[in-house]
């Protein structure tokens, strides 16, 4: 067995997320690869549904969406929601104490109705029903040998709680495990399931990866305002920054947050903020200030369904326009989009490097499927990362210092309060090289060009757009951010069906990666742009801005905007549809040729 998907579902408050987290830590620490997907309602309690999917594998997997091999349901509704999504010979576990009669069944899967409530009650802790269920899963997969590690992870997770809590959770897990081993009449074929372990790795969420990269980059100031699903970045840095004399401050709103960060960055300290859609809208004016006054800053936007409050816990890639064009005026900035958790780390390192080197705001577009997603990351060699620090002007008495000197690269010498002879005023007003405000047409034109010139200088430094799949394939897919994982897996599936597809994944979305797109589309008959928004935000941008695309190559869109991330299966279906159409077109043109 190379690959296994487990989904735990129920109502919020039933401990779905904690059991999913504990299981993902245990599998990762045992040496398997794991990636996850979680979805939960905005309410803490109530009848909102919670889902936690884990994909355990021998090789790094890119998605945890799609079909399920083991579905564990702690309530009744999620059984019927999920039963048809279970793979053939898969397993359904539900609580027979709360669901005496199953209203829907399938013959091609194994169904275990187990007395989860009864077992938990016998232990005097009905709340540990989730742990009983988790114990059953560990028992089902006994050849993965997770039982010892998972007890350690229970201890770790609840280390700040009373010993009783730890004990009752451990007891519940053991009871489920024992039940599975001794009392359950096994009908499934997981008993012999084995999987290779692949050595030490890290496990973290997308949000934690952004926080860690900030710390590694030397960021020592974070200002934020709580917002789902970005708060975890703030919480993680609140815990870690002060250990390194860094500061995390919680502000009165997002406008304050980004302006605190700008003040801090102006003082010479690498600074960032993180938010989601509504907060990102509030920050736009200050992003323009950072661009105009040339103050380095990193802003992470963990996108969620919008507009307005939208669906705070569900995912979307609909802030691309806001990231590229949300600020008024001609506003140079850099927009990066990580694809998975490891990429969250490396793109954040890039973000700080670009911000400091080019004195621009850098926006990282994560999303609600990526931010809270916990998955394995290969070990990070922090000693060999390239970290760019602010290149300060070295001045002596009598030097004439021009903060906004119009240089060849566009990058001007920078100083910060505390630096001798470097006094200057930064401003959002158009200004001369000597930082004096001016309405001069000539200066405005010259300074806009200077500020944008930095992006031309930067272009050579951006990570190359990644390609995946079959070189020279006539069908191409362009995707960005977290959607790319599902695209790559769909390409592998298409290959098995004999359809060749190549994908392009630009990591830098703004400035627009025109050259890479141009190179990629050259030999393609058709391009599908896959993204999770209604407006086809990236597609319309590249069609509009990369005029070379309009000639010859057909550009299609495949969009999703229901709050859930793409599954590889959905994309495969689209690929097959497009491939069939292409085939038909080719047939027609071939026939015509014959007739002539």
Partner 1 sequence: MKKMEIADYKGKVKPSWCPGCGNHSVLMALKKAMAELNYQTHETAIVSGIGCSSRFPFFMATYGFHSIHGRALPVAIGLKQAKPEINVIAVGGDGDGLSIGGNHFIHAGRKNPNITYIMMDNEIYALTKGQCSPTSRIGTITKCNPYAWTADRINPVLMALSFNASYVARGYAGDVKQLEKLIFGGLQHKGFAFIHIVSPCVQYNKVSSFEKIKEIVRNLPDNHDLTDRVNAMKYAFSSDGLYTGVFYKVQRPTYEERYKDVISKAKQAVDSNFSIKDVIKQFQ
Q: What's 294's DSSP letter?
A: T
The CB-of-309 to partner 1 minimum distance in angstroms stands at: 19
Minimal distance in Å, beta carbon 37 to partner 1?
19
List the alpha helices (DSSP H) in 267-340: 277-293, 320-325
Comparison of 208 and 489: residue with beta carbon closer to partner 1:
208
The helix/strand/coil state of 343 is: helix
Q: Of the candidates 304, 314, 424, 450, which one interacts with partner 1 according to CB under 8 A?
A: 424
Whether the bond between 307 and the residue before it is cis, its omega within 30 degrees of 0, is yes
Interface residue with partner 1, options 113, 263, 312, 413 (CB under 8 A)? 263
Question: CA–CA separation, 376 vs 60, rounded Å?
Answer: 8
Q: How far is the CB of 43 from partner 1 (least distance, A)?
A: 27
CB of 256 to partner 1, least distance (A): 4
- List the one residue from 6, 50, 223, 478 that touches partner 1 (CB under 8 A): 223
Query: In which order are the strands placed within the sheet that holds 501-505?
Result: 466-469, 501-505, 475-479, 526-531, 554-559
Q: Which of 334, 225, 248 has the alpha carbon at shortest distance from 290?
A: 334
**Which member of 52, 158, 177, 266 binds partner 1 (CB under 8 A)?**
266
Cα–Cα distance measured from residue 379 to residue 319, given in angstroms and rounded to the nearest whole number: 31
**Which range of residues in 190-198, 227-235, 258-266, 561-569 is near partner 1 by CB under 8 A?**
258-266
- Determine the Cα–Cα distance for residues 572 and 420; give it in Å rounded to an integer: 61
Binding residues among 142-201 for partner 1 as defined by CB under 8 A: 200
With a CB cutoff of 8 Å and minimum separation 6, the contacts of 80 are 103, 104
Tell which positions 319-378 bind partner 1, by CB under 8 A.
Answer: 377
Site string for partner 1, 373-412 (x = CB under 8 A): ----x--x-x------------------------------
* Cβ neighbours of 248 (radius 10 Å): 20
Report whether 5 contacts 24 (CB < 8 A): no
256 binds partner 1 per the rule CB under 8 A: yes
- Determine the interface stretch with partner 1 among 111-119, 132-140, 236-244, 454-462 (rule: CB under 8 A): 236-244
Between residues 248 and 362, which has the closer beta carbon with respect to partner 1? 248
536 near partner 1, judged by CB under 8 A: no
> Is residue 261 involved in binding partner 1 (CB under 8 A)?
yes
Considering only residues 441 to 500 of the shown chain, the ones binding partner 1 according to CB under 8 A are none
Among 111, 79, 84, 83, which residue's Cα sits nearest to residue 98? 79
Q: Does 36 bind partner 1 (CB under 8 A)?
A: no
Q: Is 259 in the site for partner 1 (CB under 8 A)?
A: yes
Nearer to partner 1, 260 or 468 (CB): 260
Identify the helix (H) or strand (E) that includes residue 260.
Answer: helix 254-266
Does residue 260 interact with partner 1 by CB under 8 A? yes
Q: From CA 219, how far away is CA 376, in angstroms rounded?
A: 24
Residue 275 CB, shortest distance to partner 1, in Å, is 15
520 binds partner 1, rule: CB under 8 A = no
Q: Which of 196, 198, 184, 77 is nearest to 138 (CA)?
A: 184
Q: Peptide bond before 511: cis, by omega within 30 degrees of 0?
A: yes
Binding segment for partner 1 (CB under 8 A), chosen from 264-272, 494-502, 513-521, 570-578, is 264-272
Three-class secondary structure of residue 53 per DSSP? strand
CB 323 within 8 Å of CB 509: yes
Q: Which is nearer to partner 1, 138 or 223 (CB)?
A: 223
CB of residue 291 to partner 1, shortest distance in Å: 12
Q: CB of 216: closest distance to partner 1 in angstroms?
A: 6
One residue of 190, 204, 219, 571 binding partner 1 per CB under 8 A: 204
- From CA 321, how far away is CA 329, in angstroms rounded? 14
> What contacts 380, CB < 8 A, 6 or more positions away?
202, 345
C-beta pairs of 80-83 under 8 Å, 24+ apart in sequence? 80/104, 81/9, 81/49, 82/7, 82/9, 83/109
Q: Is 30 in the site for partner 1 (CB under 8 A)?
A: no
Stretch of 108-116, 204-212, 459-467, 537-545 contacting partner 1, by CB under 8 A: 204-212
- The answer to whether 29 contacts partner 1 (rule: CB under 8 A) is yes
**423 contributes a contact to partner 1 by CB under 8 A:** yes
Q: How far apart are CA 372 and CA 529, in angstroms?
A: 25
Task: Give the rounded distance of the alpha carbon of 242 from its chain centre.
Answer: 26
Nearest-angstrom CA–CA distance, 583 and 368: 37
Query: How many residues in the shown chain lie near partner 1 by CB under 8 A?
Result: 62
* Spatial distance between the Cα atoms of 305 and 303, rounded to a whole number of angstroms: 7
Q: Does 242 bind partner 1 (CB under 8 A)?
A: yes
CA gyration radius for the chain? 26
Out of 191, 226, 394, 420, the residue judged to bind partner 1 by CB under 8 A: 420
Using DSSP's 3-state secondary structure scheme, residue 531 falls into strand
Contact status: 418 vs partner 1 (CB under 8 A): yes
Stretch (H or E) spanning 49: strand 49-57
Classified as helix, coil or strand, 209 is helix
From the list 128-136, 243-251, 328-336, 561-569, the region that binds partner 1 by CB under 8 A is 243-251
Using rule CB under 8 A, residue 305 touches partner 1: no
What's the closest the beta carbon of residue 283 comes to partner 1, in angstroms? 11
**Beta carbon of residue 44, minimum distance to partner 1 (angstroms, whole number):** 25
417, 449, 497, 581: which one binds partner 1 (CB under 8 A): 417
Which listed residue (80, 244, 325, 534) binds partner 1 by CB under 8 A?
244
Q: Which is nearer to partner 1, 112 or 345 (CB)?
A: 345
When asked if residue 251 is in the footprint of partner 1 (CB under 8 A), the reply is yes
Nearest to 71 by CA among 9, 129, 11, 13: 9
Which neighbouring-strand residues pair with 11?
Answer: 49
Interface positions with partner 1 (CB under 8 A): 29, 200, 202-204, 208, 212, 215-216, 220-221, 223, 239-240, 242-245, 247, 249, 251-253, 255-257, 259-269, 271, 285-286, 289, 293, 377, 380, 382, 416-429, 434, 436-437
């Amino acid at each position: 067995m190379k690959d296994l998907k487990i989904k735990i579902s129920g109502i919020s408050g039933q401990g779905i997320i904690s059991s999913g987290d504990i299981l993902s830590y245990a599998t990762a620490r045992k040496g398997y690869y794991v990636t996850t997907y979680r979805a939960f309602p905005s309410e803490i309690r109530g009848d909102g549904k919670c889902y936690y999917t884990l994909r355990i594998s021998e090789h790094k997997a890119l998605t945890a969406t799609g079909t399920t091999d083991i579905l564990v349901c702690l309530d009744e509704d999620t059984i019927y929601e999920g039963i048809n999504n279970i793979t053939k010979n898969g397993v359904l576990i539900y609580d027979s104490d709360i669901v005496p009669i199953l209203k829907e069944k399938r013959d091609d899967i194994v169904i275990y109705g187990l007395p989860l409530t009864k077992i938990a009650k016998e232990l005097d802790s009905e709340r540990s029903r989730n742990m009983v269920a988790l114990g059953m899963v560990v028992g089902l997969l006994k050849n993965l040998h997770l039982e010892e590690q998972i007890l350690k992870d229970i201890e770790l997770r609840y280390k700040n709680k009373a010993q009783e809590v730890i004990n009752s959770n451990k007891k519940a897990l053991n009871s489920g495990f024992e039940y599975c081993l001794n009392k359950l009449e096994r009908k499934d074929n997981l008993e012999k399931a084995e999987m290779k372990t692949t050595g030490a790795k890290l496990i973290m969420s997308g949000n934690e990866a952004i926080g860690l990269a900030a710390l590694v980059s030397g960021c020592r100031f974070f200002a934020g305002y709580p917002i789902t699903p970005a708060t975890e970045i703030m919480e993680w840095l609140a815990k870690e920054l002060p250990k390194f004399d860094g500061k995390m401050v919680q502000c009165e709103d997002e406008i304050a947050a980004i302006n605190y960060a700008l003040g801090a960055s102006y003082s010479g300290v690498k600074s960032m903020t993180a938010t989601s859609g509504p907060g990102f809208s509030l920050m736009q004016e200050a992003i323009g200030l950072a661009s105009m006054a040339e103050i380095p800053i990193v802003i992470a936007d963990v996108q969620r369904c919008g507009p307005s409050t939208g669906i705070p816990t569900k995912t979307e890639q609909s802030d691309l326009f806001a990231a590229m064009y949300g600020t008024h005026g001609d506003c140079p900035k850099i927009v990066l989009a990580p694809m998975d958790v490891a990429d969250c780390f490396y793109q954040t390192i890039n973000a700080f490097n670009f911000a400091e080197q080019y004195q621009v705001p850098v926006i990282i577009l994560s999303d609600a499927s990526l931010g809270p997603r916990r998955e394995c990351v290969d070990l990070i060699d922090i000693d060999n990362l390239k970290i760019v620090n602010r290149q300060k002007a070295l001045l002596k008495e009598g030097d004439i210092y021009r903060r906004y000197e119009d240089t060849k690269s566009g990058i001007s010498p920078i100083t910060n309060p505390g630096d001798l002879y470097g006094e200057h005023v930064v401003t959002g007003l158009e200004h001369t090289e000597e930082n004096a405000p001016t309405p001069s047409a000539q200066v405005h034109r010259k300074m806009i060009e200077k500020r944008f010139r930095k992006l031309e200088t930067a272009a050579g430094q951006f990570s190359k757009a990644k390609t995946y799949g079959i070189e020279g394939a006539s069908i191409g897919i362009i995707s960005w951010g977290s959607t790319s994982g599902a695209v790559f897996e769909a390409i592998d599936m298409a290959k098995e069906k004999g359809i060749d597809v190549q994908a392009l994944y630009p990591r830098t979305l703004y400035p627009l990666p025109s050259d890479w797109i141009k190179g990629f589309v050259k030999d393609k008959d058709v391009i599908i742009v896959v993204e999770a928004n209604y407006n086809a935000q990236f597609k319309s941008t590249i069609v509009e801005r990369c005029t070379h695309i309009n000639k010859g190559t057909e550009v299609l869109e495949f969009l999703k905007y229901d709050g859930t991330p793409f599954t590889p299966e959905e994309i495969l279906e689209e690929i097959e549809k497009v491939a069939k159409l292409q085939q038909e077109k080719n047939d027609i043109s071939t026939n015509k040729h014959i007739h002539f």
